[in-house]
Amino acid sequence: MILTVTPNPAIDLTYRVAALDPGETHRVGAPSARAGGKGLNVARVIAQTGGAAFALTTAGGAPGLRLADDLEAAGLPSELVPVSAPTRSSVAIVDEGSGVTTIFNETGGALSPAEWTALGEAVERLAVPATAIVGSGSLPPGAPDSFYADLVEVARRRGVPCVIDATGLPLLAAAEAGADVLKPNRRELADTVGVDDPVDGARALLAAGARLVLVSLGADGMLAVSETDVSAARLPQPLTGNATGAGDAAVAAVATALASGITDPVTLVRRATAWSAAAVVGPLAGELDPAYPEYEARLVLS
């Protein structure tokens, strides 16, 4: 069982328009709405690909009830820690003409000290049967910067791998704690370490203590940077679609591989890139194109 931890979930609302014209009024149909947040998307992908995932997250207010109902309807095993702050929303506007998706992410509400304690206790309890632990997504305001580093420590005590997808001080703290894999995108990495070159930025996280860094490069694919090598994978031609959740699919691929004992960086970056690409073609975040097993054979490696 792969445990995914999402401290700042959201109700994902996806609108589709024929063409997005800034400053103008658009008439749209009802949005698709589902429980979202990076870790929940990771859990959905793991389940779709035949793995076992358990999603730990928070839920607050009426949106939190909606989130709980959606997870139950999806049949996704989960535990929700009740919090006072209403669960936030994330809005994606898909321009079907250009293939570009614009995303508006609410910040989310702060958790109380007691709520952070309850979440931490749930992590400790649910880590016992876990074969890997994933920490993904933004942290709500006032969160301890050590939250993801603490996840790494829990995984280390249990003897299981840990994958962290974050940015800023929480990402750096996870590196210093010795995370097995970090998975920022190019912008998150640059914002965290202050280095624009993704290879140099990844090496800064390795120097801090991380064991492997995968860097999403958008249409340019993905890098895997270890202490001894740099590997890259991409499709021959960029795909059009909704890139929301593509990074989460990559995390799901890595966590699944690590949980089964696969640690080779080239194998990890191949699977992560393939699943990420299949997520772009998928209809919603947390879903892959059903033909995802075929994507890996099309990759260009270097």
Q: Which of 12, 165, 180, 248 is catalytic?
A: 248
Residue corresponding to tokens 């249990």: 158
Q: How many angstroms separate the CA atoms of 199 and 189, rounded?
A: 10
Q: Which residues neighbour 49 within 8 Å (Cβ) at sequence distance 6 or greater?
A: 252, 256, 275, 288, 292
For residues 2 and 134, is the Cβ–Cβ distance under 8 A? Answer: yes
- Which residues lie across from 82 on neighbouring strands? 59
Is the Cα dihedral 157, 158, 161, 166 positive or negative?
A: negative
Other beta carbons less than 10 A from residue 66's beta carbon: 16
Which of 157, 155, 185 is closest to 171 using CA atoms? 185
Is 248 catalytic? The answer is yes
DSSP 41-89: HHHHHHHHTT--EEEEEEE-HHHHHHHHHHHHHHT--EEEEE-SSPPEE
Q: How many residues does the chain have?
A: 302
Catalytic (active-site) positions: 248
